Structure 1
Amino acid sequence: MKERIQDIIGDNFVGFYLHGSLAMGGFNPKHSDIDVLVVTDKPIRLAEKRNLAQFFLDYSFSPYPIEISFLSKKQLMDWQHPCPFEFHYSEHWRERYENDLFQGTYQYFNEVIQTDPDLAAHITITNYRGICIEGKPIDKVFPKVPLDDYLSSIMGDYLECIENIAEDPIYCSLNMLRVLWFLDEGVISSKQEAGDWGQRNLPMKLRNTVKKAAENYADGKDSWSFEKFELLLLRDYIAGKVQELLKNENPLT
């Protein structure tokens, strides 16, 4: 993947960085994406964006899904939240790119710079636990994301999980635990690590629910089922703790 990206963008390449579960040792072949950030020296040309899209349409899910964002040095240097980006691919974007390429249109291939609130979290994870595969060192490329921006980024997903825990119990339970652990101890974790932490630290009445979520995530199967009441009990406990911790001091100090 890295070599093909370099072929497409040429000497515009600055670095290739892993973040997410693969970088943190929690990659699960049945659930996880390969999460990547690529930094460029200058903006990416339109023809290069189309070539990148075609490449990722072919490469993603061979065998694992790819989530990747390209950012220029200037976008990182002039930090703002939500962060702008040059190009993004994930499976959520597949149909959009397929339609543009097939029809020869430019609805998603254009010079308009878009922003992504998730990048504050991705860059923070890269700073703390990312891996530089090639290019300039992480601390020479990525800015220190303000805590308020990181919290804004992770809380967006967290609030969706509060609403959706009964529909998506594994992802939502583990993701909410990641937020709680960060606020409680300043730890940036994978979902698997957060599940292990929850089994050690939550009240006994909640640990079995966390155990089921963690084991279902680990084996990629729905070996355990959930009752709605136990998920709501877990949700309400975490939500109460999160609200309490948000009133306290910076969790990273």
Structure 2
Amino acid sequence: MPYNWVTCSPPEVRGFVFNLLGGIKEIIKEDFIGFYLHGSLAMGGFNPKSSDIDILVVSNKSLTVKTKRDLAKLLLASSNNPFPLELSVLTIKQLRDWKHPCPFDFHYSEWWRACYEKDLAKGTSHYLNDEIKTDPDLAAHITILNHRGICIEGNPIMEVFPSVPRFDYLSSIMGDFQDCLEGIEEDPIYCTLNLLRVLWYINDDVISSKQEAGNWGIAALPLDVRYTIQKVLMCYESTTIKYDFEKKELLRIRDFIESRILELLR
């Protein structure tokens, strides 16, 4: 059964998050403005066996390369021990001068593990440097944070984060939508639920978790795709249930969602 931070988050999840918060504050020191939770743990769909913990950190000014290296060490030691992390650090100026795709100061996910380990081991700066990068996903992360996120410590969300224009949010989620159209056979659980999230938003302006979108799909969509959604949702919610998915059923739901979205966007 997925968990919610406020009502039923297991003690080990809370301990993990607060230990990470303490480590980040120790590194960023007086430039720390806030530590914010978004994603499945904030919205009540967190599965300890499969979900990331999604965090945004805001600092008063850009981090030095040394600070980035210290953060990388902390996150390499923390992520997947036991929960994987996806974390971005943004400055208050980057948020106030809103642009899409949004610039950020530092980012960590497991995708970056090998790159950061290499820089730290060899003393290089190929990935841990002063370069300011942008991330189109931040428009979606910040929108979800504004609607469903949690301030763990620091200034309130509404004082720190901008209201992201609807067009920017739509642009952000449509990028992932295209990836899911192509990847549904390789990752049917994530891709099906994410496609449903996009459809629900475009259909009804609802910002939802993957679990909520799956339940909506079962209730609202035609019978010929509901059985597949039920299997997907049961796999997502359980640590033991596994189903095999036939190619034709995955393509059926993919094509149905894509055609419905194209109709709604016309």
Indicate the TM-score class for this superposition, using the shorter chain for normalisation. over 0.9
Mapped partners of 1:245, 1:29: distance in 2: 35
Measure how far apart 1:244 and its partner are: 1.4
**Structure 1 match to 2:31:** 12
Measure how far apart 1:16 and its partner are: 0.5
Q: Return 211-220 or 89-98, whichever deviates more.
A: 211-220
**Structure 2 match to 1:205:** 224
Secondary structure of the 2:129 match is: coil
**Structure 1 match to 2:129:** 110
TM-score by length of 2: 0.91
1:66 to 82, 85, 92: 85
TM-score by length of 1: 0.96
Measure how far apart 1:168 and its partner are: 1.1
2:175 aligned with 1:121: no
Secondary structure of the 1:56 match is: helix
User: Which residue identity lines up with residue 3 of structure 1 in the other structure?
Assistant: G
2:201 aligned with 1:189: no
User: Which residue identity lines up with residue 54 of structure 2 in the other structure?
Assistant: D
Measure how far apart 1:167 and its partner are: 1.5
**Structure 2 match to 1:250:** none
Deviations 1:56-78 (A, max 9, x none): 00000111001000000000000
Measure how far apart 1:17 and its partner are: 0.4
Deviations 1:124-145 (A, max 9, x none): 0000000001111101000011
**Structure 1 match to 2:157:** 138
**Structure 1 match to 2:174:** 155
Secondary structure of the 1:36 match is: strand
Measure how far apart 1:223 and its partner are: 1.9
Mapped partners of 1:69, 1:167: distance in 2: 27
Q: Say what the alpha-carbon RMSD is for the aligned residues.
A: 0.8
After TM superposition, what 4+ stretches of structure 1 lie above 6 angstroms from structure 2?
none
Measure how far apart 1:222 and its partner are: 5.6
Mapped partners of 2:109, 2:23: distance in 1: 17
Mapped partners of 1:109, 1:167: distance in 2: 31
Mapped partners of 2:206, 2:76: distance in 1: 34
1:36 to 55, 71, 87: 55
Question: Percent of pairs identical after alignment?
Answer: 59
Mapped partners of 1:176, 1:51: distance in 2: 37
Give the count of matched residue pairs.
247
Structure 1, unmatched stretches of 5+, are 248-253
